[in-house]
Amino acid sequence: MDEPMPAGEEHFVSSCDDLMRVISQYVDGDIEPDLCENFEKYMAGCNPCRLVVDNITRTISLYKGEQVYEMPLDCRKRLHDCLREKWKQMHTGDHSARDV
């Protein structure tokens, strides 16, 4: 977990600009309670900010949840074959190594 923002540095959200500056800390849950309350109060009165926060949260959630890249089967096979071969080379003459 990242360090919360130091008190006094970003301590009050009174504009969309202020909100944008701390939006990452908010969506990460890395925001001090007072600032968080202030953030949410401002957001409740600003529909564009509320939508931007919601969009960002859903963007992150999509990338976390989706396996965007899947390792192809042929690639997996080459990987395991290569590692098996290397293991044999490394353990030639090594009596502690089991058969591969």
Binding site residues, another protein, CB under 8 A: 1-2, 15-17, 20-21, 23-24, 27, 46-49, 51-52, 54-56, 58-60, 62-72, 75-76, 78-80, 82-84, 86-87, 90-91, 94, 96-98, 100
Contact residues for 88 (Cβ-Cβ < 8 A; gap 6+): 100
Query: In terms of CB distance, is 2 or 33 closer to another protein?
Result: 2
Q: How far is CA 76 from CA 35, 69, 70, 87, in A?
A: 48, 13, 10, 16
Q: How far is the CB of 74 from another protein (least distance, A)?
A: 9
